[in-house]
Amino acid sequence: MRRPRRDIVWIPTFALLVAFAVPWPLWGVDRVVAGLPVWIWWHVAWLGLCAVLFSRFARSGAWERGMGLRPEANGEDRGAGGDARGPAAGGDRP
């Protein structure tokens, strides 16, 4: 099964999300904005960014393709019976 190039983009995206989940650029900063430390605002913004990116990831179908649940119809990835819309061969079996 070939992995589309657009699915490969998610790997560095999630690596960046993990790397900056901890506000290490703000270590040592004691600044307060609107009554809260800046690092709290970092987390709020970061969680919003993560929610948006996870939504895009889920809508892109990359998870289903990666798990072999809904591969793209490119000839090699056809489901059982040759139906490109069906589940992948070997998937969804008990």
Task: Note the pLDDT tens digit of each residue in 56-91.
Answer: 998 888 888 877 776 654 444 444 444 545 555 555
pTM of the model: 0.60
pLDDT recorded at residue 45: 94
Radius of gyration from C-alpha coordinates of the chain: 20
Band the pLDDT of 8: cuts 50, 70, 90. Answer: confident
Question: How would DSSP label each residue in 14-70?
Answer: HHHHHHTTS-GGGTT---EETTEEHHHHHHHHHHHHHHHHHHHHHHHTHHHHHHTSS
Query: What does the pLDDT average to over 37-61?
Result: 92
